[in-house]
Chains A and B, each alone.
Chain A
Amino acid sequence: MKFPAFSYAVPATVAEALELLAADEDARPLAGGQTLLPILALRMASPGCLVDLSPLSELKNIVFEDQTLKIGAMVTFAQLARATAHQANFPLIYLALKHVAHVAIRNRGTIGGSLAYADAAAEMPVVVCALNAIMVIAGVGGARRVAAADFFTGHFSTAIERRELLTQIEFPISDHTWAFEEVSRRPGDFALVMAATGLRMRDGQCAEARIALGCVADRPLRAPAAEAFLSGKQITEETAAEAGQIATSDLKSHADIHASAEYRRKVGSTLIKRALLRAAVEPRL
């Protein structure tokens, strides 16, 4: 359908955008619009005012400093893919981006919009959890920093308050080797299940494992028990499969028209195993 009517504001700075949001209960930030505009078209929401963030160049920076990759919220998936294709230190971001939507959507959709929307079937939330990223959230009173583990609060809900904006995502450098596995119906479709795994190996044994799962719950999950299990072990068919089992056996996964809860648990377990075996043979930097 056609979009419902709204008033339209074009701020020149983040401070102005925050003022606009604070002044109008019914205002919503518009990032790439690749989720918000379909929502409007489907009349699932009709905000009174859209605050267009697209002119805000201060939200489009990609910088690497203090061992941290800092990405502005308005960086598009396409820009992020170009920036990380040669960023040897952040392979997971690039690996996961290959699964995000279709080329035309990637040219407008932003990392900030994806994280703020927090779809359980989206890739970026899993990536920020796996990489222990920090979300920088700005409000009229100043900015605060929220760890990925505390950022997602449920289906389509995050720590961002109505008057606030996600401005930057900070990825600390990691020396793990990474793999990302996803099952979806077609390339570019939302995931049915996905897994990201990272390994830091020492003398053939796992010194630290990271396991993150997506689309198996109302938010992305880490699997601390499976991560602990792998510590000190070699990564073999058996240990990788065991880690997958541990990570998924107690999951209260959701069922929908796309997949049953049982399917999600089983596939999740298999994807973790596959991703661990793949990360184990990735060359170390």
Chain B
Amino acid sequence: MKKTAVDELLLVNTTVNGRAYSFAIEPRISLADTLRYELGLTGTKVGCEHGVCGACTVLVDGEPMRSCLMLGVQAEGRTIQTVEGLASGLKLHPLQESFKRHHALQCGFCSAGMLATALALLRDNPTPTRTEVREIISGNLCRCTGYETIVDAICDTQVAEFMRGEQRG
């Protein structure tokens, strides 16, 4: 059994975007704030801080989760992917390229969460229907685009082709 007092720092070992990190934080700090302030990965956005907007969604062990509804200390031993981990060097991920091509973002505040949510869907199903896409992004709010272009970007054929190669077994 391990019990930490209020304000006591806890050591966390985790992997983010393929890089191992080790740091000490208070248990009250969310994973979103841990990524942003402790690791400087500000691509993950924080909108509502209580689970409804989806802006903070990241991939934890490959599955989308709300980083505002996880504690930073719960990242212990996990593998996390944020929007910073999608591109290879200067080459954007095909889904990012597709968002660009289809004008699927304006301010970009929702994009990191949209990308994480969509990527997990596309890994299981590279050619989802528009209805399936709408359902899966129902937990991600965008205040700019009206969603149609986001659905276009996720249903893009070039993305489908790339994701078929990435499909999990």
Between B68, B69, B73, B74, the greatest number of chain A beta carbons within 10 A of the residue's beta carbon is seen for: B69
Q: How far is the CB of A31 from chain B (nearest CB, A)?
A: 12
Q: Mark B150-167, 1 if CB is under 8 A from A, else 0.
A: 000000000000000000
CA distance A10 to B50 in the complex (A): 23
Task: Say whether A2 contacts B28, CB under 8 Å.
Answer: yes
B65 in contact (CB, < 8 A): yes
User: Pick the contact of A10 from B1, B33, B65 — CB < 8 Å?
Assistant: B1
B108 in contact (CB, < 8 A): no
By a CB distance below 8 angstroms, the chain B residues around A232 are none
Residue pairs across A and B with CB atoms within 8 Å: the count is 107
Task: Say whether B50 contacts A42, CB under 8 Å.
Answer: yes
B90 in contact (CB, < 8 A): no
Task: Say whether A9 contacts B3, CB under 8 Å.
Answer: yes
By a CB distance below 8 angstroms, the chain B residues around A188 are 135, 138-139
Task: Say whether A7 contacts B66, CB under 8 Å.
Answer: no
Between B10, B50, B60, the greatest number of chain A beta carbons within 10 A of the residue's beta carbon is seen for: B50
By a CB distance below 8 angstroms, the chain A residues around B138 are 102, 186-189
Task: Say whether B64 contacts A7, CB under 8 Å.
Answer: no
Task: Say whether B117 contacts A4, CB under 8 Å.
Answer: no
Task: Say whether A5 contacts B64, CB under 8 Å.
Answer: no
Count contacts on B: residues with CB < 8 A to the other chain. Answer: 40
Task: Say whether B50 contacts A11, CB under 8 Å.
Answer: no
By a CB distance below 8 angstroms, the chain B residues around A186 are 138
Task: Say whether B50 contacts A3, CB under 8 Å.
Answer: no
Decide: A7 near B69, CB < 8 A? Known: A52-B74, A104-B57, A105-B51. Answer: no
Dominant secondary structure at the A interface: loop
Task: Say whether B50 contacts A38, CB under 8 Å.
Answer: yes
Task: Say whether A41 contacts B50, CB under 8 Å.
Answer: yes
Interface size range on A against B: 35 or more
Task: Say whether A107 contacts B4, CB under 8 Å.
Answer: no
Task: Say whether A7 contacts B6, CB under 8 Å.
Answer: yes
Task: Say whether B28 contacts A104, CB under 8 Å.
Answer: no
Q: Mark B87-128, 1 if CB is under 8 A from A, else 0.
A: 000000000000000000000000000000100110000000
By a CB distance below 8 angstroms, the chain A residues around B54 are 102, 104
Decide: A37 near B10, CB < 8 A? Known: A2-B28, A3-B28, A50-B27. Answer: no
**A1-50 CB contacts (< 8 Å) to partner B:** 1-12, 16, 20, 33-34, 37-38, 41-42, 48-50
Known: A5-B6, A33-B71, A105-B139. 8 other contacts (CB 8 A): A6-B6, A8-B4, A8-B71, A37-B50, A37-B51, A102-B54, A103-B121, A104-B117
Interface residues of B (CB under 8 A from A): 1-8, 10, 26-30, 33, 49-51, 54, 57, 60, 63-66, 68-71, 73-74, 117, 120-121, 134-136, 138-140
